[in-house]
Amino acid sequence: MAIKRRQTTKLEPITPELILQYPKQSFPLEISSLTDKLPDGFRELAVSCKISIQTIKLLHQVALRVTGERLEALPHVWGRSEQFELMRVVATASVPKLERQVCLLVLIFERSWLATTPDSVAPRRMYGRVGQVFRDRLREVTQNMAELGTDVDSDFMIWATMVIVTATDESKLGEEERKELMALLFMLCPQMKSWDTAMGSLRKYYWSQALMTQWHSEWLAARSCNI
């Protein structure tokens, strides 16, 4: 199964590259209090020291928004939102690939979540170089999904695939690409044979009832082709 290939475009950095700091095994109290608020899967990534302190803080902001503990709307100014900061991590070439991919997937998730949330402001469309880098990084994930599964556990691969195949904005894939990703998921992840076990994997990361319903529909459609 070959995910559709597109030519990657080399672009200058969108902003000055980030200098990220990574936690040691003994987390400061401030960082521990942030990781305690993360879904189990992201907490495991954080305590494994695979993601930077800056990314942990961004994941914490998204967690508070999804759980309703952070009620204010996204800022109208793009540069003041966590989505902009996630995109900065995604666009910084020196950031480890896994961390870039995590931030990209969280960014796609939050945009999909906002689209299903009443009274939320529509996510800002990505144009120009920002849009090109976003699409290039998305292509990097979709073309190497099996490789992603070796860097993290299969639960994350399930969540990542569901986030990608149900995206509706500029992240949206073609029908054949979505089918191929789902077929790969059924082949590599035994949890996909049952919706209950698949749902257990998805709940280790960000989710909402509206998105879980979409993911279930995607699972049902894919199961009929991959039994």
Mean pLDDT, rounded, for 4-13: 47
Residue 155 inside a domain? The answer is yes
Residue 78 confidence (pLDDT): 54
Residue 13 inside a domain? The answer is no
Residue 7 confidence (pLDDT): 47
- Go through the chain and tell me how many residues it has: 227
Residue pLDDT, tens place only, 136-192 = 999 999 988 888 877 888 999 999 999 999 997 778 889 999 999 999 999 999 999
Residue 4 inside a domain? The answer is no
Residue 170 confidence (pLDDT): 73
Residue 162 inside a domain? The answer is yes
The range of the structural domain enclosing residue 219 comes to 29-226
pTM of structure: 0.88
Instruction: Say how far apart CA 136 and CA 138 lie, in whole Å.
Output: 5
Residue 126 confidence (pLDDT): 77
Instruction: Say how far apart CA 139 and CA 173 lie, in whole Å.
Output: 10
Residue 5 inside a domain? The answer is no
Residue pLDDT, tens place only, 47-95 = 988 899 999 999 999 999 898 877 665 655 455 678 889 999 999 988 9
Residue 214 inside a domain? The answer is yes
Instruction: Say how far apart CA 140 and CA 135 lie, in whole Å.
Output: 9
Residue 151 inside a domain? The answer is yes
Q: How far does CA 56 lie from the centroid of its chain?
A: 13
Residue 92 inside a domain? The answer is yes
Strands (E), 68-153: none
Q: How many domains does the structure of the chain reveal?
A: 1
Could you tell me the two tokens for 199?
A: 């749902």
